């Protein structure tokens, strides 16, 4: 009989304690579902990736699978697996495409901001963001046909309407071609963010600079760009991270070729993992890549973000 009595007596205090626990840690409870999701989709796969990078995990050799092999996977990937080449190509690709997309996105935003008619502004906004709606694989499929030297419209137009001979886009300048196609696909993203940022520059500031007699370029350099710094920084950072993840477009357009001339890290990882079925080596490359991207982004945020943008 004593047990139920004790339970009854303790019930209110349990409830109170639970309520206190809820109230005291309210922000954490709200965060919990997201933390759980992060654990499931990021932390656990990341930890498993780290484990795979340290063991023998070649699917075609099940006899040795799971044996700890230290840093052998890293050595294999970076000495004979072409990882060094793919890292170099990725840096060139990301730098080139990011620069092009940023400059073109900014120019387009400036042009549309300068348009007087609201109707035309809407038209340009819609027209300029359309390329972003095309899926990379569809874009690559269409682009392959458009660049074909025999039946493609682009070499045809160049030969027909310019004094130049059309280059062999996918075999002579493959990396540049991939960069340009990505630029066509993703400049709209930069455009739309820059346009929003440019539209939020207070009219009073622009008015003041006009009264002071500043020419257009000075207004951009001394008023608009400084005001847009946070927008510029965030857009570039997001696009930078996204560019490092480029896969479908390049895979469908060149498969990483000719030879290994467009074999970005993402393609090298795919090839190592799913063609050579060496998940250990693929994981090793992925780990180095992930750490590299996180480090680069943190340096940018700390060094440029805090000091240069949000000082």
Partner 1 sequence: MTSKRSGRKRRNFIKATGVGLLGGLAGCTRGGDEASDGNGDGADDVDLSVSEFQDADIDWQQFEGSTINIGAVQHPWVDAIKPAIPVFEELTGISVQWNVLPEQEFRTKRLTDVSTGAGEWDVFFLDQVVNQFREAGWLQPLDPYFDDDSMYDEEWYTMDDLFEATRWQAHGGGYSDTWTGIPITVEVQTQFYRTDLYEEYDLEVAETLEEFVSNAQTIQENESDMVGTAGRGQKGYGMNIYILNTFIREYGSQLWDDYPDDSGLDSEGAISAAEWYVSLLQDYGPDGASSQTWSDVLSTMQSGSAGHIVSDANLFWPSLTDPEASDAADNIGIAKTPAPADGEFAPNAYSWQISTSKNADNSEAAFLFMLWASSEPTNTWLHLNSSAAFSVRQSVWENDEFRSRVGDNFAQVTLESLQAAAPDPFDAKYPEWGQTYSEELQTAIAGDQSAEEALTNAATAAEDTADE
Span near partner 1 by CB under 8 A; candidates 25-33, 35-43, 275-283, 290-298: 275-283
- Other C-beta atoms closer than 10 Å to the C-beta of 269 total 22
Among 4, 259, 307, 311, binds partner 1 (CB under 8 A): 259
| Candidates 109-117, 141-149, 188-196, 280-288; binding stretch for partner 1 (CB under 8 A) | 141-149
260 binds partner 1 (CB under 8 A): yes
**Using CB under 8 A, which of the segments 87-95, 201-209, 252-260, 302-310 binds partner 1?**
252-260
CA-CA-CA-CA dihedral for 141, 142, 145, 146, to nearest 10: -140
User: Is 271 a binder of partner 1 (CB under 8 A)?
Assistant: yes
Residue 98 Cα to chain centre, angstroms:
10
CA distances (Å), 251 to each of 178, 263, 284, 290, in order? 10, 9, 21, 20
25, 274, 306, 310: residue in contact with partner 1 (rule CB under 8 A): 274
The 165-204 site mask, x for binding partner 1 (CB under 8 A), equals: -x-xxxxx-x------------------------------
- Eight-class DSSP state of 62: G
Cα Rg of the chain, angstroms: 27
Least Å from the CB of residue 50 to partner 1: 20
C-beta closer to partner 1: residue 38 or 145? 145
Nearer to partner 1, 67 or 171 (CB): 171
How many residues bind to partner 1 according to rule CB under 8 A? 42
- Binding residue for partner 1, selected from 31, 255, 294, 308, defined by CB under 8 A: 255
Nearest residue (CB) to partner 1, 254 versus 283: 254
Which residues ranging from 38 to 97 are in contact with partner 1 (CB under 8 A)?
59-62
Cα–Cα distance measured from residue 137 to residue 248, given in angstroms and rounded to the nearest whole number: 6
Token pair 């992060």 in the structure block, residue: 38
Q: Tell me: does residue 164 bind partner 1 (CB under 8 A).
A: no
Handedness of CA 277, 281, 287, 289 (dihedral sign): negative
151 near partner 1, judged by CB under 8 A: yes
Residue 117 CB coordination number (10 Å): 9
CA distance 210 to 217: 11
Torsion 10-11-17-20 (CA) sign: negative
Q: How far is Cα 230 from Cα 225, in angstroms, rounded to an integer?
A: 10
Q: Which positions lie near partner 1, rule CB under 8 A?
A: 59-62, 135, 137-139, 141-142, 144-146, 148-153, 155-156, 159-160, 166, 168-172, 174, 254-260, 271, 274-277
């Amino acid at each position: 009989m004593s047990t139920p009595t004790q339970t009854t007596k303790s019930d209110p205090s349990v409830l109170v304690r639970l309520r206190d626990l809820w109230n005291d840690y309210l922000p954490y409870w709200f965060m919990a579902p997201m933390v759980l999701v992060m654990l499931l989709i990021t932390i656990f796969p990341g930890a498993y990736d780290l484990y795979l990078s340290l063991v023998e995990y070649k699917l075609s050799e099940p006899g040795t699978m799971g044996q700890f092999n230290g840093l052998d996977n890293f050595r294999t990937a970076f000495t004979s697996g072409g990882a060094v080449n793919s890292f170099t190509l990725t840096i060139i690709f990301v730098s080139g495409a990011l620069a092009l997309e940023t400059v073109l996105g900014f120019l387009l935003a400036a042009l549309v901001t300068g348009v007087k008619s609201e109707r035309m502004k809407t038209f340009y906004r819609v027209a300029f963001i359309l390329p972003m709606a095309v899926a990379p694989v569809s874009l690559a499929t269409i682009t392959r046909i458009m660049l074909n030297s025999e039946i493609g419209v682009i070499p045809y137009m160049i030969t027909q309407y310019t004094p130049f001979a059309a280059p062999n886009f996918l075999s002579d300048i493959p990396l540049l071609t991939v960069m340009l196609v990505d630029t066509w696909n993703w400049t709209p993203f930069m455009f739309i963010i820059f346009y929003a940022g440019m539209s939020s520059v207070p009219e009073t500031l622009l008015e003041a600079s006009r009264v002071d007699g500043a020419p257009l370029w000075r207004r951009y350099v001394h008023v608009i760009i400084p005001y847009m710094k946070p927008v510029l920084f965030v857009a570039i950072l997001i696009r930078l991270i996204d560019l490092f993840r480029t896969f479908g477009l390049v895979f469908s357009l060149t498969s990483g070729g000719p030879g290994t001339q467009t074999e970005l890290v993402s393609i090298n990882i795919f090839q190592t993992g799913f063609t050579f079925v060496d998940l250990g080596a693929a994981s090793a490359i992925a780990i180095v890549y992930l750490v590299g991207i996180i480090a680069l982004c943190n340096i940018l945020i700390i060094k440029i973000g805090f000091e240069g943008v949000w000082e």
